[in-house]
Structure 1
Amino acid sequence: MSAVVLAGATSGLGRQAALQLAKDGHELTFIGRNRERGERLARETGGRFIRADLSTLEGVEHVAATVSQVDVLINNAGVMTRRREVTAEGFELNLAVHHLAPFSLTSRLLPLLRRGEGRVVNVNSEGHRAPMRGSGPVLINFDDLQSERSFDPFLTYSRTKLANLLFTYELHRRHPELTVAAVHPGVVRTDLGRQFPRALVALFHITALSARQGAAPVVELATSPDIANGAYYSRFTNTRSSPASYDVGTARRLWEVTEELRGPFAVTGQLRGPS
């Protein structure tokens, strides 16, 4: 059985993935911000709960200082905001949760991943191709990476999911010793859109999968001995992602910009905060 670290585990898809991983006998450490829900899940699963906000350096460092073994890291935390919000460090929230957090957490846990099975699963979205409302294609805008000039909730969400996918592929190129994959779990009924009008959310939920159904491919990629390294999965199927996601130059530039924001990848010690 594997030692699994699951980020974003206390509700929705993450909670269901935690329940299934625990049922299958894996040693589970899960991360979330809500203490009550986290402690309840710990009692249900027998896993270890770490309360942390991974959108911040403080949260990432707290997890890195607490975890001692990692075979599989699942970066699942997600957010969607109706209006532009920033973290305590001043980063736009979608960018911080979907890109900076996986980048920084993977960086700080890399030595442990190398000693273990070395698997990283990033939960992504088909939204990386085109906004849920609007038209594509989605591209990274380095001139407005944090949506300061123009904020659209759906486009910002999609761009930061594309950033996550570019990170996934670049991580695979730079660290071939790891097994890395991204997965779109399907359109899942969660509380991700809780800030939006109920009528819009209700319409969205009509055809959506349950959280348990959404968790199934995440658990599969985290535990199966047979997955395609460096691949993007739409649920259980190895699928081509958007053309923009394969732009190596953009991926390299994004990696460099992220290191400017967070410090060099996989260097022991404190990560760099915003200047």
Structure 2
Amino acid sequence: MPNRNGFTEADVPAQSGKCLIVTGANTGIGFEASRVLAARGARVLLACRDRAKAEAAMARIRQASPQADLAFLPLDQADLASVRAAAELAAREPRIDALVNNAGVMVPPLTRTKQGFELQFGVNHLGCFALTALLLPKLAETEGRVVVTSSIAHRGAALDWEDLNAEKGYDRFRRYGASKLANALFVFELDRRLRASGSPVTAVGCHPGIAKTDLGRHLGALHILLSLMRLFLNSTAMGAWPTLQAATGRVTPGGYYGPTGIRELRGVSGEASLAAQARDPGLARRLWDVSVAMTGIDPGLPAAE
């Protein structure tokens, strides 16, 4: 039964006839969201780097939903050429109702994308920005949604505008927070521009609280501590509830959704809080312009006044 105090997977409406893309869908929150969407009748494109892992995830989903309509969409957000190819392939679908930007990396050693960007900013933001920009025309056909996953780590974060590419220094935790602030700023600016242009596409943000997923594999001892605390945090399935609400529930354009329990760490999904800097129009516009310049991909949406 639906939870009247907030949104859970029980609240996901029927998705028959719809098609959704979920990035990073072979594990963690992306997998759980894909599982629920497929069970509700959606066609789900699992956008992943590794075909074998995607096929294993699809096999797991079909164990519970034998009639699930699933397909593998090759996508490596650390390579803009792969992002372009994925968008072109996805655009051949009869329809796309939502793009769920879930894929991300968290606090790895200093690594660079195919184009030489710092990995966390490159994958978590620039890859998300590029894929979204390329699929906006397709999403407009169905009055679709763009879902962008941020994190509570965006609070207190700041973008190092003079060193976005980590050429002068690298603190992996600060860089992760900055990438998640970029996600939040992107939703804010994308929503403003979509509405200013009269686009039928809706942009929505979400965060999972703290959930046990493979994303924390670079955390070392802290990952072990979080595993020991799992009874007090979100399960992976619970962590997917805000994603599912943002993708399928009744939402406010430009809204932000996450767990409603103490400090938004766990619990049923509902409206979540954004730090003040995540709604700074000057920062958001600057990030947009920088993202266009770095990716070479322009969504073609004029700035909102």
TM-score, reference length from structure 2: 0.81
Provide structure 1 residue ranges, at least 5 long, that are not aligned to the other structure: 130-136, 268-275
Q: Which residue of 1 aligns with 2:257?
A: 233
Deviation at 1:219, TM superposition (A): 1.2
Q: Does 1:65 align with 2:98?
A: no
Q: Does 1:249 align with 2:282?
A: yes
Q: Which residue of 1 aligns with 2:157?
A: 138
Q: Which residue of 2 aligns with 1:90?
A: 116
Root-mean-square deviation (CA, aligned residues, Å) is: 1.4
Q: Which residue of 2 aligns with 1:13?
A: 29
Deviations 1:186-226 (A, max 9, x none): 101011121232x32111231332111111221122111x1
Contact persistence 1:28–1:48 (CA under 8 A):
yes
Q: Does 1:203 align with 2:225?
A: yes
Give secondary structure in 2 for the equivalent of 1:5. strand
Q: Which residue of 2 aligns with 1:215?
A: 240
TM-score, reference length from structure 1: 0.89
**AA aligned opposite 1:66:** L
Give secondary structure in 2 for the equivalent of 1:144. coil
Give secondary structure in 1 for the equivalent of 2:180. helix
Matched residue pairs, number? 258
**AA aligned opposite 2:210:** V
Contact persistence 1:38–1:51 (CA under 8 A):
no
Give secondary structure in 2 for the equivalent of 1:10. coil
Contact persistence 1:179–1:230 (CA under 8 A):
yes
Deviations 1:115-143 (A, max 9, x none): 013211111101000xxxxxxx2222210
Match of 1:260 among 275, 279, 293: 293
Give secondary structure in 2 for the equivalent of 1:147. coil
Contact persistence 2:26–2:54 (CA under 8 A):
yes
Match of 1:47 among 56, 66, 70: 70
Q: For residues 264 and 38 of structure 1, do their structure 2 counterparts lie closer, same or farther at Cα, with a shift above 3 Å needed?
A: closer
Deviations 1:85-139 (A, max 9, x none): 101211111011111011100111011000013211111101000xxxxxxx222
Q: What fraction of aligned residue pairs are identical, expressed as a percent?
A: 36
In 1, Cα distance between equivalents of 2:166 and 2:276: 22
